[in-house]
Structure 1
Amino acid sequence: MSGGSVGEDEKPDFSERFRQDFETLLKWRRDVRRFRTDPLPTGLLDHLLHLADLAPSVGNSQPWRVVIVESPDKRSEVTACFEAENETAANTYDDNKAALYRQLKLSGLKEAPVHLAVFSDEDPAQGHGLGRMTMPETLAYSTVSMIHTFWLAARAEGVGVGWVSILDPAAVSEILQVDESWRLVAYLCVGFPEEEHIDPELERVRWQSRSPLETRLFRR
């Protein structure tokens, strides 16, 4: 397929160039912490979210619930939550590691123009429970699949995404006043990157390098 749309009954023929570009996309998908403050173009966030909504889910349940955090007060509360948890985390390391930890930039909360809190509904009516009776955690896994789909779609548009995990989920849920059945899976910072790197920042600062697949591949 050289271009154009594909009908519902047509099988797509992904070109060699497309496959190469997809590999490049995967290599350049980075966890961004350094953002420009300028806003995304009108309609782009909505487009990315609609692409992310194409992600697979257990029982076709689509358990993800996305909160676009626009209130400056709520953003400030989330940032304060991060700062408190970040300091607690730093204190768990020995002096040398703690000093390096405090040099890491682990969020872009103050700069990113878009904040997304992504929750997983732990008991959605949609899907009628199919596929999750023995593994209810597949709901959260489905939500992670949606997040990764969003991440790749964003990167294809030159937009960066940063996943902030140093947060108290209960505190974030309270700040955003969400349904009690929703479980926080990710708090995402979204915007155009201030700088571009193909290698992870944690490798550049010598915190942790990636390991070869062979060390994590097993056969039975």
Structure 2
Amino acid sequence: MGTPDDRAPLVERVEQLLAVEGPLTIVAAGDPVLRRGAEPYDGQLGPALLARFVAALRVTMRAAPGVGLAAPQVGVGLRIAVIEDPAPVPEEVRLARGRVPQPFRVLVNPAYEPVGARRVGFFEGCLSVPGYQAVVARPAEVRLTGRDEHGRALDEVVGGWPARIVQHETDHLDGTLYLDRAEPRSLSSNRSAMERWSQPTPERAARELGFELP
């Protein structure tokens, strides 16, 4: 646990961010904060400031809009992320991707490990890499551990699209962007992805762009 002097700059940074009303600024790829492993959270912000910071992450995620946001994406190197997915998708997409609604939740010091060997590939995007999407092969199920914002332990198996969100946001806390795991030949602009690759699965994209799926 750091000393009060160690924590002061971090607290000041968060207070400065929260002094401005509205969504926080999302940092883009190229900012070193996205490439450094985030510091484990052990009370650096205190309960009241943590609650305000979590609320700001929620506002920012929804305004973007996105289904997850990690603290480094707003320039704060702490192992905190938020997720929420209303999953307003057609039934065929829901079935193909396992995309089911996820209520708002906070992940503090999350970690994951694969459950089983099955991997699935789908297009992903990222608020810190605006304008593009790419196919990422990830474990279909993972065991998520960590805590929530109240310090309660998390230990659960997550599958489908929620597992993808958990992995994507936890990767951010390790300094990993989704592009590091993506199929390079699948990289597409948002416009191309919408016009060409909006099918429930990326099988057609794999054939026409020349990459393999798990």
**Bigger relative CO (Cα 8 Å, ≥ 6 apart):** 1
Q: What TM-score comes out, normalization by structure 2 length?
A: 0.29
Q: What TM-score comes out, normalization by structure 1 length?
A: 0.29
Choose between structure 1 and 2: higher strand proportion. Answer: 2
Higher Cα Rg, which structure: 1
